[in-house]
C-alpha cells in the first residue's frame, strides 16, 4: 500500500525512491485523542502536520469566543504557517476534533530535506501556493458573501466537513454564529 503522505506529495511532483525514503524517514507518526493539542498559543510551531485520518482545527481565542481559522481533514496539511516559517510564537492552537492520526515533520528536518533534495523546494512552494490560494478564497468569502452563500459554498466544496466537524466549529470557520448557520441551513 502506498504511504498516504507520499501519495499526497506525488500529486504535486514526481518522487524518486531516494526522495520517498528521505521523506518517510523525516516525518514521524502521531496518534491523537479527541481534544489533544498539537500546538498551543504562545508556543512556536516546530512541526507541520499531514492528516492521515480524523480532523484538526486551527483556532484562536477572543474575548467573545473561539474563532476557527482552519479545518484540516484526512489528506491535508495543517500548520501555524507564520509561526512555523518565522520561528515566532503562534497566536493559535491546533487541536484534534476527533481521534486523529498525523505525520509530522520538524522545521529543522524539513530544512534538511530542502537542502539535500532541491526538488523538494518546488514541492514546498507548490504546497504554500495552494495554502495561500485557499486562505485567500476563504478570506474573500468571509468579506464578500452572505452567510447563506458561505454555507452553501462550503457545503458544495467541502461536504466532508459536515460529516466530521461539529457545526459550532463550521459556523465559526464561516464567520457566523451557530444561530446564523441554522438559518442558512433552513434556507436550503
Burial annotation 30-63 (CB, 10 A radius, 16+ → b, else e): bebeeeeebbebebebbbbbbbbebbbbbbeeee
38: left (phi over 0), alpha (psi -120 to 50) or beta: alpha
Q: Report the percentage of the chain scoring pLDDT > 70.
A: 98
List pLDDT tens digits, range 113-145: 999 999 899 999 999 999 899 989 999 999 999
- pLDDT category, 185, cuts 50, 70, 90? confident
- pLDDT category, 2, cuts 50, 70, 90? low
* Residue whose cell numbers read 462550503: 154
The H or E element spanning position 94 is strand 93-96
pLDDT, position 63: 86
User: Which has more confidence, 20 or 188?
Assistant: 20
The CATH number corresponding to 4-118 among 2.60.120.10, 3.40.50.150, 3.30.420.40, 2.60.40.420 equals 2.60.120.10
pTM of the model: 0.91
129: left (phi over 0), alpha (psi -120 to 50) or beta: alpha
Burial of 64 (C-beta count, 10 Å sphere; 0-12/13-18/19+): exposed
- pLDDT category, 65, cuts 50, 70, 90? confident
* Mean of the per-residue pLDDT values of the chain: 93
pLDDT, position 163: 93
pLDDT at 64 over 90: no
pLDDT, position 1: 42
Q: What is the mean pLDDT of residues 29-57?
A: 97
The H or E element spanning position 57 is strand 55-61
Amino acid at each position: 500500500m502506498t504511504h498516504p503522505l507520499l501519495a499526497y506529495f506525488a500529486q504535486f511532483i514526481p518522487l524518486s525512491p531516494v526522495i520517498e525514503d528521505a521523506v518517510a524517514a523525516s516525518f514521524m507518526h502521531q496518534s491523537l485523542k479527541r481534544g489533544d493539542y498539537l500546538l498551543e498559543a504562545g508556543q512556536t510551531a516546530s512541526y507541520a502536520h499531514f492528516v492521515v485520518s480524523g480532523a484538526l482545527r486551527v483556532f484562536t481565542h477572543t474575548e467573545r469566543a473561539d474563532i476557527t481559522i482552519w479545518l484540516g481533514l484526512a489528506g491535508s496539511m495543517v500548520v501555524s504557517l507564520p509561526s512555523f516559517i518565522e520561528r515566532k510564537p503562534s497566536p493559535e492552537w491546533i487541536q484534534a476534533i476527533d481521534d486523529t492520526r498525523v505525520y509530522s515533520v520538524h522545521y529543522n528536518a524539513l530544512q534538511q530535506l530542502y537542502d539535500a533534495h532541491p526538488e523538494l523546494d518546488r514541492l514546498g512552494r507548490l504546497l504554500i501556493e495552494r495554502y495561500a490560494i485557499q486562505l485567500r478564497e476563504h478570506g474573500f468569502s468571509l468579506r464578500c458573501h452572505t452567510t447563506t452563500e458561505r454555507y452553501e459554498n462550503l457545503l458544495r466544496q467541502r461536504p466532508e466537513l459536515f460529516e466530521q466537524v461539529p457545526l459550532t466549529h463550521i459556523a465559526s470557520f464561516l464567520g457566523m454564529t451557530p444561530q446564523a448557520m441554522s438559518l442558512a441551513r433552513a434556507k436550503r
